Structure 1
Amino acid sequence: MAVALEYISLIVPIDKIEQYYPGGFEKYKSDHKQAIGGSIWYDDYLVRDGAMSNYDVGRLIQEWESYGLKGVIEVDGMKQWKDLCVVDYFGGATLACFWLKSRDSSVSHINDDSKLLIHRNNLWDGKISLFKPIEWLKLFQIAEESKDRLELRKLRKEIFQQTIQIVKQEEYSLDGEDIQIDNATITEETVYYTKPEHLTPLKSDTPTKFAVIEADCIETSQLLQKSGYNVCMLNMANRQNPGGGVWSGAGAQEENIFRRSNMLLSLYQYIDYSNQYGIEQNTEHSYPLDREAGGVYTKDATFFRGSEKNGYCLLKNPFKLSVVSVPAINGPKIDLINRYYRITKELIEPSKEKIRTILRIGATHNHDCLVLSAFGCGAFRNPPQHIAELFKEVFDEPEFANQFKLVVFSIIDDHNAWRDHNP
């Protein structure tokens, strides 16, 4: 067997856990049952604990060392891992580790003679061409029907691990054909904004057309591009972490975008662990985004996977799409007024400023069509009716009048729909 890696993972042999952890391995599993199947995976020999940053993995090492395990030792002048091992998704073990063997995106114990499995059920054996979206979708639907959130997250995490490898390899195979991914300019042509400049009002008599549809925003954007529009799609971003909870298998829009494209090459340059992905860290800008008017413009991200309902199938014809990443206010105070929830008064103007940021960035880069969504109305718990009103008020401002030919709100109800803030 083997355990699949996250971008940075701490590997601990089960026999060491049995020896040093109070109560042994069974007690360890009991104490960490909420994380097993999420950040923690194990096989017959090893436990893998995935970390979000170098700080997190350092904290995990300190915790294990407090039980008596030894981390880094020096033998004949060479540093190596003893009872623990930190493994980089791309680079392998960060120091020599003589009890660990690796292949592609997984590791196994040196004494494990079983066939090395990258992902369960052979959905993907490390060769991107062999991914089976129908089989993946069957497992996903079973997890949905049984409301098994851990299984849903595991399945989504597997997709992102595949996506990372595709982006790294810059290609995948489909029906015997090698499909190329163009990563050449996405990082360099990304633009980071702390406060975009105001637009010059247009002297146009052609009014902006608006539409609201129930559809996948990426698929909507692709169709509009084929119709001749210069589209910019909104990524409802996480202000603190690019990609939001994509590594934990979260199911919101930004995570979906990251699983289906090379967007990580655009936004991960602004994090301190960008080197874990082979991306040079941006020395001028970094996350978190500016609280008031922060955003990022990504020119020509490449989308190469289908939607979740289609099993994240690999596309025969990848397509490019420009994206504006702006975060909504997370968990604003809301008031119930005349049976409708509304953002509290002091947060109305900050919310409108974030909407202005989306429009300013889109227009600055000469897009004539925006594909928007239910901005902040999911996990961030903004009330949809009030957000819709704020969008209308901003579009009616002279600065934005007729700046775009078409604006489409492409929205799909998900697990965040029909909650108190979103009836």
Structure 2
Amino acid sequence: MRLVILGGGESGIGTAILGKKKGYEVFVSDFGKIKGNYKEVLIINGIVWEEEKHTEDLILNADVVMKSPGIPDKSPIVKKLVEKGIPVLSEIEFAAPFTDATIIGITGSNGKTTTTMLTHHLLKSAGLNVGLGGNIGKSFAWQIADNKYDSYVLELSSFQLDGILNFKPHIAIITNISPDHLDRYDYKYENYIDSKFRITMNQTEEDYLIYDADDEAIAEWFKTHTTKAKLIPFSLTKTFSEGAYIKNNKMEISINQEEFTMDTEHIALEGKHNMKNAMAATSVAKLMQIRKSTIRESLSNFQGVEHRLEKVLKIQNVQYINDSKATNVNATFFALDSMNTPTVWIVGGVDKGNDYNELMSLVREKVKAIICLGVDNKKIIDVFGNVVDMMIEVDNMNDAVRMAQRLSEKGDTVLLSPACASFDLFESYEDRGNQFKQAVKNL
């Protein structure tokens, strides 16, 4: 069997190693450059590869193809594979049959990284032999090749879910759905929503779907679709006989006739959206029969996720917050919503079809100045130009942070929450967040 892998990043290399171990003839092809450390792994494992090109003769003879999530379905080589009827899978679909571990799959437009990390933290603290992968950390396929975990917590993007056929998590979570990556879905929101719900398409009555019952897009989907999985909703406003909710500042969870309660003030994560993430993760812990005392302790000592509302430093009584991971409007909505001081907001980057009007009421209420950090800021300026007193454009992070310091006064917050992808001025959202932290430290 010939396995061809498109993309020589983390998921591609991991799949190559697993494929080789399972007896496939493996070929890796990357249209860009493959990083040096990944090349070494390929060479050590005797795996054939190419970079900066896709040689059709070496690709179109595949029995199966694993496509990295970053490569669009519209790319010419993918179209040719589909025309020839060659299966094009995601790493998750390729790897899953090679493990009998319990799989917890987490998707959503926002909150999925925090929920994934918190779920992993809850299970690991309870002594479970659990792996962390998918969209974060080490490749899922690579871990199956190298480790023997009893369960995996996987963060799954819509792109990864687009490439599944039979993949089925025992426990699935949809944290929320808001417009994102619409450029990859023909600018049709319903296509993106359907893509997220692929997480539950193969689930049976033995499986569980945990979801945000306050979410409009999720509620709409349920009006015309069903899933076989047992439903466990969570909400900030409703209560359930089976599910999770907040009542009188207590998180209450009822699953399989078992109750769990905890005062929200003892939960380390702050903000309404994080209460939802905590309810989702705790629901998993309950399903996995983790002891209540362990859950409480883990919820109270969880450190949060880098680049997600990460407090960097307080300088002259101004708090600097790195929320570089906010790559869409909905994520930035959560960030602005959790601000309770006048805010200098650093925003901008590669726009993925954003509607900034959703932020209007929060910007009017909380934002005193906007610093645009992107190559093209026209849309942001058009929407907010007349709403805030100060609007400034910069083209690098040092200028953004220095300008923010000038515009802020005691008691204010400087918030980097770009609502956009980072690829115009930075390598990645991590690079953007790290540059912000460095610039703050240099003040």
Is TM (by shorter chain) over 0.5?
no
**Which structure would you say has the larger RCO, counting Cα contacts within 8 Å and 6 or more residues apart?**
1
TM-score under structure 2 length normalisation: 0.29
TM-score under structure 1 length normalisation: 0.30
Q: Which has the higher helix share?
A: 2
